[in-house]
Chains A and B, each alone.
Chain A
Amino acid sequence: MTLFRDIPIQIKLMRVIFLVSGIMLFVTCSSFFAYEFYTFRQTTIQKLSTLGEIISTNSTAALAFQNNEDAQEILTALKAEPHIVAACLYDKDGHLFSQYPSILPLHALPVKPETKGFQFVNSYLEGFQPVMQGSKQLGTLYLKSDLGAMYERFKLYGIITALVVAASLLLAYLLSQILQKSISSPILALAETAKAISDNGDYSVRAIKLGNDELGSLTDAFNLMLVQIHNQNQTLSEFNQTLEQKVKDRTIELETVNKELDSFSYSISHDLRAPIRAINNYINILLEDYTGQLDDEAKRLINIVISNSQKMGTLIDDLLSFAKLGRKDLTKTSFSMKLLVESVWEDAYRLEQNRTIEFILDELPDTYAEKATIQQVWINLISNALKYSRKQEKTVIQISWEDQDKEIIYFIKDNGIGFDMQYYDKLFGVFQRLHSPQEFEGTGVGLAIVQRIIEKHGGKIWATSKPNEGSTFYFSLPKKSL
C-alpha cells in the first residue's frame, strides 16, 4: 500500500478503475465459464443419452431377431458423430452382440453391461442404455464418447473469453484514461496553482473551477483562502508601509532632537566654562591677595569652593568633550595601536608609582581609526582599570586582542573589584555610576564617552565582570575596508 500511496493520482485512479473492472470481468467470465462447463456436461450427457435412446429404439428388432448385420448397420450410423469412439450392443443374456467400430482392441469394451446411466470416466463419457421393446428388455447399449466436442467448445469459449477480456480491458483502459481526468484534472490543476503560488508568491492567481462537485467546492474554498491571504497581505504591507514611514518620521524627529540636544549641551558646557573659570580665577586672586585678612575658617570654606568649582570645571570639560563627539566627523588614519597604548600607559602609570602593578601588553595589530579619540578610549579604560583595582595588593592589567572576521576585538582585563552584572545596563550611561564618589572618584561620563567613540567608529563595546573578581572591557573596531 505504501507503494500505491506515493504514485501519482492519475495512475492511482486508472489502476483502481482497471483493477475493479478486471476483477469484475474475471468473476463474470469465470462464473459464465463455470456455468457453461456444468451445463455443457449436462448437455453432453443428455445428447449422448438421446443418441443412445435412438440407437436402442432402432436396434430392438435386430436384437429380438438376432440380426447382427442389422445391429452392425445401426451402430455404424454412429460414424456421423465423430466423438463416439466406441459403441456396442449386448443381448439380453449380457453377451456382446454387435460393436462399433467393427475392429476394436480386445479390452476396449466392457465385458458385461453395467447399470444404466452415463458418467464421465477419465476423459471419456460412457454409459449403458437398456434396449427396451415395450416393457421388455431386449439387450443393452453401450456408448463411449470422447470429450473432444466439450474441449473444442471450451477452447472456443476460452478464446472468446480471452478476446472479450482483452477488448474489455482495453476499453476499460481507454475509458479510465478519459474518465479519470474528470477527477484528476481539477486536483492536478489545483496542485499546479498551489505550486505556482508558493513558487512565485503571487496570491492574485485563482484556480479554475471545473465542476460543481466536492472538488469544485475545494477549488472555491482554495480560491477564497487565496482572497483572504491576498487581502491580509495587502493589509499587512500597508501597515508595514505606514510603520516604516512612522519609523522614518520618528528617526528624523529623534535625530533633530538629538542634534538640538547636542548643540544645547555643547553650548551649555561652553557657556558654563567661562563663568566657572572666572569663579576659579577670582577665588584664587582672593586667596592669594587676601590671605592675611582671612581667618582659617574662611580659608577652609574658600578651599571648599575652589575644590567644588574645579570639580565642576572637570565635569563641564567632560560634558563638552562628550558633546563634541556628536558634532565632529572622524578623520581616520592608520597607526600602531601598541605604541598608542604604551604611551597612554606611560602617562597613567606615572601617577601610580607607589603601587605594585603587573602590566601585560600583547602585540596589538595596527588599526585604522581616529587616533585622538581612540587615545581617549584607552585613557578612560586604562584609568578605570587602575582606579578600580586600587584596593588590590597587586594589580594585574592585561591588554590583548582577538581577530574576528571583519573586525578586531581589543580588550583590557583587570583584577579590580568588578561589578554586578545585574547593573550592566547602567554601565555606559551618562552620569551613571556603580560606585559612590567617596569610594571611587569620577564623573560618570568616561564610559559614555568611550561608547560614543567606539559606536561612531562602527564598533561595539561590552564588558563582563563578577564582583571582586575583576572586569574585562571589550571593544571592536572594523578592519580597514579595502
Chain B
Amino acid sequence: MSILTIYIHHRLKIPLLICGILLLCSQAPSTREYQIKAVFLFNFTQFIEWPSHSFENAQSPLIIGVLGKDPFGNSLGDAVNNEKVNGHPLVVRRYSSPEEIEDCQILFINLHDPDKVVKIIARLKGKSILTVSDDNNFLKQGGIVRFFTRDNKIQLQINPEAAKSADLIISSKLLRLAEIVIPKTVK
C-alpha cells in the first residue's frame, strides 16, 4: 500500500510543480523591486490620511489603482489581501485608460508619456488621490510620490505641496524618510 501511495504522489507532484511555475511566470512578471514597491503602496495607507469625503461611507473600500501596464503581478494583491485601514477594506483596481479612474485613493501611474501624465494629473485635480510613479519627471508633472533607486534601495521623493493641494495629510514620519522635492515649475 505504502509503496503505491508514494508512487502516486511522485506521479502527481512533478506536473503540479511545473504547472505552478508556468502560472507564476505568465501572471507575474513581478521583480523583487516591484514586490517592495507593492508593499510600499500598501504602507502608504498607514501613513497618509485621506479626507473623509473621499470615501462614500465608512465601509467603502480604499482603492489602490494601477494605470498602465501592471508591473506588480500578484505582489500588490498579496500585499493588500484581507487588509483594512480604518475600517476600509483594501482593493486593487487596474485601469487601462484614465477615463476609467473614478474614486481611487492611491493611483500608481505606470505611463512614461509626459503629456499623458500631465493630462491625467490635471484630470485628477480636486480629487484626493495619492499619485505615485517611477517616472523621473513625475513630480515636475504634478505627481505626489516618486519611487527611485539609490544605493540599490528603493527610496521616495515626495512633493508635499501637491499632497496638500490634493487634501492629503502625509505623516511626518513618512516625510522624514522621503526626499522632499518641490519643483519650481509646475505645468
- A: residues with CB less than 8 A from B are 58, 60-62, 64-67, 70, 133-134, 136
Q: How large is the interface on B (under 10, 10 to 19, 20 to 34, 35 or more residues)?
A: 10 to 19
- The CB with the most chain A CB atoms within 10 A, among B155, B173, B174, is that of B173
- Is B13 at the interface (CB under 8 A from chain A)? no
| CB–CB B156/A65 < 8 A | yes
- Is B47 at the interface (CB under 8 A from chain A)? yes
Tell me the bound Cα distance from A62 to B40 in angstroms: 11
Q: In the assembled complex, which residues on chain A have CB atoms less than 8 Å from the CB atom of B177?
A: 61-62, 65, 67, 70
| CB–CB B47/A64 < 8 A | yes
| CB–CB A66/B176 < 8 A | no
| CB–CB A65/B46 < 8 A | no
Q: 0/1 per residue, B158-182, Cβ < 8 Å to A?
A: 0000000000000101101100000
Please tell me which one of the listed residues A70, A133, A136 contacts residue B176 in the complex, with CB atoms under 8 A apart: A70
Known: A66-B153, A67-B177, A70-B176. A61 touches B47 (CB 8 A): yes
- For the complex formed, measure the closest distance between the CB of B147 and the CB atoms of chain A, giving whole angstroms: 10
Known: A58-B173, A70-B177. A64 touches B43 (CB 8 A): yes
Tell me the bound Cα distance from A299 to B176 in angstroms: 182
Q: In the assembled complex, which residues on chain A have CB atoms less than 8 Å from the CB atom of B155?
A: 67
- The CB with the most chain B CB atoms within 10 A, among A61, A62, A66, A133, is that of A61
Q: In the assembled complex, which residues on chain B have CB atoms less than 8 Å from the CB atom of A61?
A: 47, 171, 173-174, 176-177
Contacts A/B (CB < 8 Å), 6 sampled: A60-B46, A64-B46, A65-B174, A66-B36, A66-B154, A136-B83
Q: In the assembled complex, which residues on chain A have CB atoms less than 8 Å from the CB atom of B83?
A: 136
Tell me the bound Cα distance from A60 to B43 in angstroms: 10
- For the complex formed, measure the closest distance between the CB of B98 and the CB atoms of chain A, giving whole angstroms: 28
| CB–CB B176/A134 < 8 A | no
Q: 0/1 per residue, B54-79, Cβ < 8 Å to A?
A: 00000000000000000000000000
| CB–CB B85/A65 < 8 A | no
| CB–CB B85/A134 < 8 A | yes
Tell me the bound Cα distance from A393 to B176 in angstroms: 157
Q: In the assembled complex, which residues on chain B have CB atoms less than 8 Å from the CB atom of A64?
A: 40, 43, 46-47
Q: In the assembled complex, which residues on chain A have CB atoms less than 8 Å from the CB atom of B154?
A: 66
Q: In the assembled complex, which residues on chain A have CB atoms less than 8 Å from the CB atom of B173?
A: 58, 60-62
Q: In the assembled complex, which residues on chain A have CB atoms less than 8 Å from the CB atom of B176?
A: 61, 70
Please tell me which one of the listed residues A58, A60, A65, A134 contacts residue B40 in the complex, with CB atoms under 8 A apart: A65
Additional A-B contacts beyond A65-B174, A136-B83 (20; CB < 8 A):
A58-B173, A60-B46, A60-B47, A61-B171, A61-B174, A61-B176, A61-B177, A62-B173, A64-B46, A65-B40, A65-B156, A65-B177, A66-B36, A67-B155, A67-B177, A70-B177, A133-B47, A134-B85, A134-B86, A136-B46
Q: In the assembled complex, which residues on chain B have CB atoms less than 8 Å from the CB atom of A70?
A: 176-177
Q: In the assembled complex, which residues on chain B have CB atoms less than 8 Å from the CB atom of A58?
A: 173
Tell me the bound Cα distance from A58 to B153 in angstroms: 21
- For the complex formed, measure the closest distance between the CB of B75 and the CB atoms of chain A, giving whole angstroms: 15
- B: residues with CB less than 8 A from A are 36, 40, 43, 46-47, 83, 85-86, 153-156, 171, 173-174, 176-177
- For the complex formed, measure the closest distance between the CB of B168 and the CB atoms of chain A, giving whole angstroms: 16
Known: A61-B173, A70-B176. A133 touches B46 (CB 8 A): yes
- The CB with the most chain B CB atoms within 10 A, among A64, A65, A66, A134, is that of A65
Q: In the assembled complex, which residues on chain A have CB atoms less than 8 Å from the CB atom of B85?
A: 134
Tell me the bound Cα distance from A64 to B83 in angstroms: 15
- For the complex formed, measure the closest distance between the CB of B47 and the CB atoms of chain A, giving whole angstroms: 6
- For the complex formed, measure the closest distance between the CB of A307 and the CB atoms of chain B, giving whole angstroms: 167
Tell me the bound Cα distance from A61 to B43 in angstroms: 8
Closest 10 CB pairs of A and B: A61-B173, A64-B43, A133-B46, A67-B177, A61-B174, A70-B177, A65-B177, A61-B177, A61-B47, A65-B40
Q: In the assembled complex, which residues on chain B have CB atoms less than 8 Å from the CB atom of A65?
A: 40, 43, 156, 174, 177
- The CB with the most chain B CB atoms within 10 A, among A60, A62, A64, A70, is that of A64
- For the complex formed, measure the closest distance between the CB of A177 and the CB atoms of chain B, giving whole angstroms: 69
Tell me the bound Cα distance from A136 to B42 in angstroms: 12
Q: In the assembled complex, which residues on chain A have CB atoms less than 8 Å from the CB atom of B47?
A: 60-61, 64, 133
Task: Across the interface, name the chain B residue whose C-beta is closest to A134.
Answer: B46
- For the complex formed, measure the closest distance between the CB of A53 and the CB atoms of chain B, giving whole angstroms: 14
Tell me the bound Cα distance from A134 to B85 in angstroms: 8
Q: In the assembled complex, which residues on chain A have CB atoms less than 8 Å from the CB atom of B86?
A: 134
Tell me the bound Cα distance from A67 to B176 in angstroms: 10
- The CB with the most chain A CB atoms within 10 A, among B86, B156, B176, is that of B176
Task: Across the interface, name the chain B residue whose C-beta is closest to A62.
Answer: B177
Task: Across the interface, name the chain A residue whose C-beta is closest to B178.
Answer: A65
Task: Across the interface, name the chain A residue whose C-beta is closest to B40.
Answer: A65
Tell me the bound Cα distance from A64 to B46 in angstroms: 9
Tell me the bound Cα distance from A136 to B45 in angstroms: 11
Tell me the bound Cα distance from A59 to B172 in angstroms: 12
Task: Across the interface, name the chain A residue whose C-beta is closest to B171.
Answer: A61
Q: In the assembled complex, which residues on chain A have CB atoms less than 8 Å from the CB atom of B171?
A: 61
Tell me the bound Cα distance from A65 to B154 in angstroms: 8
Tell me the bound Cα distance from A65 to B156 in angstroms: 9
Task: Across the interface, name the chain B residue whose C-beta is closest to A92.
Answer: B39
- For the complex formed, measure the closest distance between the CB of B156 and the CB atoms of chain A, giving whole angstroms: 7
Tell me the bound Cα distance from A133 to B171 in angstroms: 12
Q: In the assembled complex, which residues on chain B have CB atoms less than 8 Å from the CB atom of A60?
A: 46-47, 173
Task: Across the interface, name the chain A residue whose C-beta is closest to B177.
Answer: A67
- For the complex formed, measure the closest distance between the CB of B146 and the CB atoms of chain A, giving whole angstroms: 13
Tell me the bound Cα distance from A134 to B153 in angstroms: 26
Tell me the bound Cα distance from A66 to B39 in angstroms: 10
Tell me the bound Cα distance from A198 to B6 in angstroms: 120
Task: Across the interface, name the chain A residue whose C-beta is closest to B43.
Answer: A64
Tell me the bound Cα distance from A58 to B176 in angstroms: 10
- For the complex formed, measure the closest distance between the CB of B114 and the CB atoms of chain A, giving whole angstroms: 27
- For the complex formed, measure the closest distance between the CB of B134 and the CB atoms of chain A, giving whole angstroms: 15
Tell me the bound Cα distance from A130 to B173 in angstroms: 17
Tell me the bound Cα distance from A65 to B171 in angstroms: 13
Tell me the bound Cα distance from A70 to B155 in angstroms: 12
- For the complex formed, measure the closest distance between the CB of A131 and the CB atoms of chain B, giving whole angstroms: 11
Task: Across the interface, name the chain B residue whose C-beta is closest to A64.
Answer: B43
